[in-house]
Amino acid sequence: MPPSRSYSEAPDGLASVLVEAGFETLPIEFTHAERLASLPPIHRDPFDRILVAQAQVEDLVLVTADRTIPRYPVEVLDALQ
């Protein structure tokens, strides 16, 4: 099992680095909430479930180390590899 990682606060300048790299924020839209309501009860974490719904609606790859999320019909990139 890989070592546990804990992040209590973002490093200084992280937001500007992400913006420069082309990352964008993705607000929760009504269509995401609609998809959330139709997801099977695989995962109990509401934050993870909305991420899955957003990835499905927006046709995005979800980068995660979570071992439950890949059970959803969504493209996943393992963050630990």
Would 8 be classed as within a structural domain? no
Which amino acid is it at 75? E
Residue 44 maps to a domain: yes
- Residue 28 in any domain: the answer is yes
Does a structural domain hold residue 62?
yes
**22 is a domain residue:** yes
Task: Kindly state whether residue 41 falls inside one of the protein's structural domains.
Answer: yes
Query: How many angstroms separate the CA atoms of 2 and 31, rounded?
Result: 35
Instruction: Look at the chain and report how many structural domains it folds into.
Output: 1
Q: The tokens 């546990």 sit on which residue?
A: 4
pLDDT tens for each residue of 24-71: 899 999 999 999 999 999 988 999 999 999 999 999 999 999 999 999
Where are any strands of DSSP class E within the chain? 62-64, 76-78
Which pTM value belongs to this model? 0.78
Q: Which domain holds residue 70?
A: 16-78
- The residues with which 62 forms a beta bridge, in sequence order, are 76
Q: Quote the CA–CA distance of 32 and 58 in Å, as a whole number.
A: 9
- Within a domain: residue 65? yes
For residue 2, being part of any structural domain is answered with: no
